[in-house]
Amino acid sequence: MVLRMQRKSEEQRQPGCGPLIPPLSETMRPLRQQVFDRIRAAGLIPRVQLAKELGVSPASVTTLTSELIEVGLIEEVAAPRDSDSGRGRPAVALGVRADAHRVAGLKISDRDMSAVIVDFAGNLIADYHVDRPPTAFSLPEILDATESLLDEVCTKAGVRRYELSGAGIALPGYVDSTGGTVLWSSVLRDRDAPLAAAASVRLGLPVHIDNDANLCALAELWFGAGRSRSDFAVVTIEHGVGMGLVINHRLYRGAQGLGMELGHTKVQLDGALCRCGQRGCLEAYVADYALAREATTALDWTYKGGQSMIVLLESLYDHAKAGNQSARSIFNRAGRYLALGLANVVNLFDPAFIILSGERMRFDYLYAADTLAEMKAHVLQTGRPLPPIEIHAWGEMLWAHGAAALALSAISETRLSPARELAAQ
């Protein structure tokens, strides 16, 4: 098993954004969409190269790109020359018109909120982060918090709210992305909350919502290590445990949009109480509230809801590093359950690549070599190697980037849809 630690930043990412889909692998999609997606993913690409990669005639590419230029989605850009002769016509490449649209990506979590503004080419314009009390919102309260968060990041970006073309919101829990409804979330007291519609009215722009782990995977697919991979899984460890799955360069949500709830798979019958109300969930043994529960039991520490769980966990980690065997055993036990959960992911989906992400990944006892080695014992013994695992420490802006990608995807799909083409005729 290959285990690597990486730290991601905006400066490290490759040119362009969105999945880097191999040439000739998506012939069923409309050619106009393929052309736009390939330009967006490349950052800059000459027409000749575009035609070659799509396996179509240069004339077809010229026609389609002219249409995209006319509607303001792409533009011609002077491309760097291979030589300094300066003779002949200047080289021209195609790129997404960055100022065509701006979107916001917002993350509402149990203990903090974050936001980004990105342009149509995926470039970061501004970001903003703020802590919040660990209490659940009512629907009106989360709308107030969302509006305040958006106004703060807009001010930092120097843009007005009406200049945005859309927004994406990431939050934990059971989220019906298609219907725009939050069935249950640890950050909301209301169930079956129509958050997308309510936020659209409050903010005055189209709003799309999804589970935060899904949008973590979308961030990797659009901006991170998942761009060039057709199939991979992202497991997030924060106040809860989540999972996002990408199959054939697309986010997989399940038949009803509520799949991939790794944190609520059962690892112990009649086990520890999970915040979802059931017992024995993986999350109840790995998430931060599980570590805090074990600390109060094994170490006789006192934790109350009003106290900072982060301070308690940092203290627990410091004690483990200093050699406290009880503290080490808490992390090791959580790591063993994590290894069991990862083995189940491998047995079910056989991903080519697994990414571990989230605030808790800085606690290296969770993924220590001897702990993750146990994963091998729970994986089907086929003689084939386990998928490589990477630890990605993006920071708190990861989910907000995924929410921005959700909004960008919705805009491009709408602008390039066949229905829109017919309406324009």
DSSP secondary structure letter of residue 288: H
Q: What's the CATH superfamily of 228-392?
A: ATPase, nucleotide binding domain (3.30.420.40)
SS3 (DSSP) at 141: helix
Mean pLDDT value across residues 3-29: 67
- pTM over 0.75? The answer is yes
Q: Look at residue 304 in the predicted model and tell me its pLDDT.
A: 55
> Of 24-38, 112-126, 244-258, 372-386, where does mean pLDDT reach its minimum?
24-38
Question: Same CATH fold, 228-392 and 10-99?
Answer: no
Burial 346-372 (b: 16+ CB within 10 A, else e): beebebebbbbbbbbbebbbbbbeebb
CB 177 within 8 A of CB 214: yes
- The Cα–Cα gap between 179 and 351 comes to 28
Tally helices (H) and strands (E) across the chain. Answer: 13, 15
Confidence of residue 424 (pLDDT cuts 50, 70, 90): very low
What token pair was written down for 119?
Answer: 């342009």
First to last CA, the chain: 55
Q: Is the pLDDT of residue 400 over 90?
A: yes
pLDDT of 6 reads 52
Options 3.30.1300.10, 3.40.50.300, 3.40.190.290, 3.30.420.40; CATH of 100-217+398-423: 3.30.420.40
State what percent of residues in the chain have pLDDT above 90.
Answer: 56
Helix (H, G, I), strand (E, B) or coil at 193: strand
Write out pLDDT tens, residues 147-156.
999 999 999 9
Dig out the tokens for 153 from the structure: 């990041």
**What pLDDT is stored for residue 347 in this prediction?**
94
Confidence band (pLDDT; 50, 70, 90) for 30? confident
Helices (H), 356-397: 369-378
Percent composition of the chain: helix, strand, coil (DSSP 3-state, to 5): 45, 20, 35
Q: Average pLDDT in the 271-282 region?
A: 91
Helix 58-70 to helix 31-42 angle (10° resolution) is: 80
The domains of the chain are located at: 10-99, 100-217+398-423, 228-392
Q: Under CATH, to which class is 10-99 assigned?
A: mainly alpha
**5-9, 81-85, 374-378, 406-410 — which one is most confidently predicted on average?**
406-410
Is the distance from CB of 266 to CB of 337 less than 8 angstroms? no
pLDDT digits (tens, 9 = 90+) for 129-140: 999 988 899 999
- The per-residue pLDDT for 382 is 87
pLDDT band at 162 (very low <50, low <70, confident <90, very high): very high
| Residue 421 clears pLDDT 50, i.e. is over it | no
Length of the chain: 425
How is residue 180 written in tokens?
């725009």
Q: What is the mean pLDDT of residues 240-257?
A: 90
**Per-residue pLDDT at 7 exceeds 60:** no
Confidence of residue 305 (pLDDT cuts 50, 70, 90): low
Distance CA 230, CA 239 (A): 29
| Residue 268 phi, psi dihedral angles, 5° rounding | -155, 115
**Range 226-251 average pLDDT:** 91
- State yes or no: pLDDT of 232 exceeds 70: yes
**350 — pLDDT class (breaks 50, 70, 90):** very high
Dist CA 79 CA 212 (whole Å):
38
